Amino acid sequence: MTDLPHLDPALIERFASIVGDKYALRDQADIVPYLTEQRGLWHGSTALVLRPGSVDEVSRIMRLASETGTPVVPQSGNTGLVGGQVPDKSGREIVLSLSRLNRIREVDVLSNTITAEAGVILQTLQEAADAADRLFPLSLAAQGSCQIGGNLSSNAGGTGVLAYGNARELCLGVEVVLPTGEVFDDLRKLKKDNTGYDLKNLFVGAEGTLGVITAAVLKLFPKPKGREVAFVGLNSPEAALALFGLASDRAGAALTAFELIGSRPYDFTLLHAHGVTRPLAEDWPWYVLMQISSGRSAEDARALIEDILSFGFEQEMVGDAVMASSIAQADAFWNFREMLPEAQKAEGASIKHDISVPVASIPRFIEEAAGAVASVSPGARVVCFGHMGDGNLHYNISRPVDGADVAFLDLYHPMNKAVHDVVRSLNGSISAEHGIGQLKRDELIATAPPMAIDLMRRVKAAFDPAGIMNPGKVI
């Protein structure tokens, strides 16, 4: 980068004085990691990255930003996939990194809560819960680097939504710095509270467009006494749906994961991922990774999963299955699942979709979306996997084997439209867990009910009348 972004040097000094020179990044070599999201679709520009170490510093930053009309882009672990955490190319926006707000303020075992600051890495929070003999169930492939503030701002989902809900459902209270610098302290542990509007849920999932989440009270759960994991081979999505119905009936809340995997992502992972082993001896058109967690005992979990698989074989839902014989093998099954997105990269350019439809509509979606993909790019390869238990599929499309990356990526918008038209016909969502950011903003505005967009804009104007909070994202 030859020219520095345009931001008044005197204003830069005023912002830098709040956090100190050490935590005000101005050298472009230091700033670069904050300017690009991991898929490389969005690249921004800024003259300043601020790394405050306290809520008071965040408040002072936002107060100055409000006074001077300076746009602010909050950023946590920079693991988002829709460009919501990346500044634009104008150079006028500053990046506000929450990574130094990384304290776990309290673990309350009796209340089953943990209070953590926005910069706490998800895996660190999971480990703190585990040390207290509790479970924090939010689990993502990026959990070693993503941070709680970003998880909440994007209303992250992951593999535990089926049993425990997404980030919104795991959050009891928040601390938020508003665009004006005012601090909204709602760090309460109450599971029941009907005193007016549920304000915290305006900030959870808002992608930093209404304020800066600086801390949260999150739910903990008793650790399961037994966990059983099985890798299953099946002939069709219909068979997977039938197995899901069976598992739900037999296990109830003990069914804590039900992941659907197509043959193509399965094969890509065997071909390109390091350190994985083939879960099943034979190949199948579809696979399911299923987990049962019992609050009673390991024996209870084992009995439940054996009962489900036995009946599944009898009813010809299941073609083959293997139950993990150890914790290490169970972890290996989950590692295989988490490697699916990474393994696809070796196959060239891809167009990704993060969609949800009613669970009962998943087989129909898969069938109709395949036709939609072929109509846009004959020979494109569908890479379908995801959280079947909650209706969320990562419906990714790899370029044709002999295709060119650039030419395929030129089809991004027509491919999105074709797939999302199928989603909308089934009353689904074009963003199940990744958010809107920049990637889906225009499509959201063009296709959502006008009243919904109008209400969101009214909320945005009420909280951020100066329009400085993460502008150009969501709406």
Residues contacting residue 196 through CB under 8 Å, at least 6 positions apart: none
Q: What angle do CA 269, 271, 273 make, to 5 degrees?
A: 50
pLDDT above 70 covers what percent of the chain?
99
How does DSSP classify residue 437? T
Q: Which CATH architecture has domain 9-97?
A: 2-Layer Sandwich (3.30)
CA distance 452 to 433: 19
| Residue 323 pLDDT exceeds 80 | yes
State pLDDT tens for residues 363-390.
999 999 999 999 999 999 999 999 999 9
| Residue 46 pLDDT exceeds 80 | yes
Q: Name the pLDDT band for 4 (thresholds 50, 70, 90).
A: low
Burial state string for 404-424 with b = 16 or more CB within 10 A and e = fewer than 16: eeeebeebeeebbebbbebbe
Which class is domain 104-222? alpha beta
Q: Which CATH architecture has domain 348-434?
A: 2-Layer Sandwich (3.30)
How does DSSP classify residue 103? -
CA distance 434 to 142: 12
Residue for token pair 């005012």 = 182
pLDDT (0 to 100) of residue 5? 63
pLDDT above 90 covers what percent of the chain?
91
Phi, psi of 322 (to 5 degrees): -135, 130
Give me 169's structure tokens. 């459902």
Q: Name the pLDDT band for 397 (thresholds 50, 70, 90).
A: very high
Q: What angle do CA 437, 365, 445 make, to 5 degrees?
A: 30
CA distance 462 to 72: 17
Domain ranges within the chain, ordered by starting residue: 9-97, 104-222, 226-341, 348-434
Rg (CA), the chain: 23
Give me 17's structure tokens. 């004085």
Beta bridge partners of 262: 286
In the CATH hierarchy, which fold is given to the domain comprising 226-341?
A: Alpha-Beta Plaits (3.30.70)
Average pLDDT for residues 338-359, to the nearest whole number?
Answer: 95
| Residue 424 pLDDT exceeds 70 | yes
Q: Do domains 104-222 and 226-341 have the same CATH topology?
A: no
Average pLDDT for residues 245-274, to the nearest whole number?
Answer: 97
Average pLDDT for residues 290-318, to the nearest whole number?
Answer: 96
pLDDT (0 to 100) of residue 79? 87
CA distance 295 to 309: 20
Q: Name the pLDDT band for 82 (thresholds 50, 70, 90).
A: confident
State pLDDT tens for residues 159-196.
899 999 999 999 999 999 999 999 999 999 999 999 99
